[in-house]
Amino acid sequence: MIEAAMIWNEPNNKSHWDPEIDPGWEKFAEMTRLAARAIHEANPEISKVLGGMSPIDPLFVQNLAAKGALDDIDVVAVHGFPLDWNLWPLKDWPKKIGEIRAVTDKPIWVSEVGVSSFGAEEVQDWGLARTAELLIDCVPRIHWYSLCDLPQAWGATTRHKEAEGSSYYRHFHMGLLREDGSQKPAFDTFRRFTPQLGLCQWFHFEDPRLDSSVARMKELGVTYLRTGLSWADSFRPSALDWFDRQMEALASFEVTVTFCFTPEHRGIAPHHTSAPLVPEEFAEFCAAMISRYARRSLSAAAE
């Protein structure tokens, strides 16, 4: 069942939102306002989450708040990867949460946190345990990224690909499971922290890993999950068939569904990071997905 709808993914990261098109996040703020209101209209019981910021930046929160983008938002989310991409130590997690707590009274979720096994699986195993110890009593939702390694043949969604050097290749080794489905040491360590620890697992269009992933998450005792429904994918043939299958498979979890990725023909620029030409269209997509997959309770429907 859907518990929350996240509006975009890492909007202050140029791999997911083009700063040249929208340097002050004016367009993002407008899109967020429209989407949050549309989601609320479709189902007022669903929490609206500001797309997990990366880097963790209190000035970004203040900027959006000043533009009214947080008026209809229920939760502010952050992403952090201090052992792989961020320039701060792992022990600073409570400090980083405190920086955001100082500029908003909204609840704070960690909607992506992880450690790559690119260098050593033992580092990932230690990093998972230490991260859980730091965050479980600090925030109400922690989505560990991720269950599955990203297959090498698929490519990671970044702007500069292999030109990023080892930063790019780390994307392929974030899972508790290797590409062949075998377990890394962190798999059994993760089990020690469920159900307090949840997962973030992105599923590609018609992803063959869906059913096996659901089985492994249940094996781990996972109760809550973050995933995505792509606005760009919604224009593919049979898109709703895939969305229906994905959401039915995940129905036993408390799901935070992330709406993001601009279709090439609907952006100011033909790229998934572009601000949309017509932000109302993104809001309509969000509302349609919530109406389809998040049924109102009887009390909400009667209002």
The pair of structure tokens assigned to 276 is 């949309």
Helix, strand, coil % over all residues of the chain, rounded to 5: 40, 15, 45
Q: What is the SS3 assignment for 13-77? A: CCCCCCCCCCCCCHHHHHHHHHHHHHHHHHCCCCEEEEEEECCCCHHHHHHHHHCCCCCCCCEEE
Domain boundaries, the chain: 2-302
Contact between 80 and 56 under an 8 Å Cβ cutoff? The reply is yes
Residue 301 is predicted with a pLDDT of 52
The label of the residue with tokens 């023909």 reads 265
User: DSSP letter string over 65-128?
Assistant: HHTTTTTT--EEEEEE-TTTT-SS-GGGHHHHHHHHHTT--S-EEEEEE----SS-HHHHHHHH
Q: Rounded to the nearest 5°, which phi and psi values hold at 66?
A: -65, -25
The label of the residue with tokens 């983008």 reads 69
How far apart CA 283 and CA 152 sit, in angstroms, is: 33
How far apart CA 302 and CA 298 sit, in angstroms, is: 6
Beta-carbon contacts of residue 72 (< 8 Å; ≥ 6 apart): 33, 36, 37, 40, 48
Q: Ramachandran region of residue 12, left (φ > 0), alpha (ψ -120 to 50) or beta?
A: alpha
- Per-residue exposure over 179-217, b if at least 16 CB sit within 10 Å of its own CB, e if not: beeeebebbebbeebbebbbbbbbbbeebebbeebbebb
For the domain made up of 2-302, the CATH class stated in words is alpha beta
Does residue 195 have a cis peptide bond before it, meaning omega lies within 30 degrees of 0? yes
The pair of structure tokens assigned to 216 is 């492994």
* pLDDT tens sequence for the chain (303 residues): 999 999 999 999 998 999 999 999 999 999 999 999 999 999 999 999 999 999 999 999 999 999 999 999 999 999 999 999 899 999 999 999 999 999 999 999 999 999 999 999 999 999 999 999 999 999 999 999 999 999 876 766 665 555 455 666 677 899 999 999 999 999 999 999 999 999 999 999 999 999 999 999 999 999 999 999 999 999 999 999 999 999 999 999 999 999 999 999 999 999 999 999 999 999 999 999 999 999 876 555 545
Residue 157 is predicted with a pLDDT of 65
Contact between 103 and 78 under an 8 Å Cβ cutoff? The reply is no
Amino acid occupying residue 194: T
| C-alpha angle 188-109-116 in degrees, rounded to nearest 5 | 40
How far apart CA 63 and CA 53 sit, in angstroms, is: 13
The distance from CA 5 to its chain's CA centroid, rounded to whole angstroms, is 10
> What pTM does this model have?
0.95
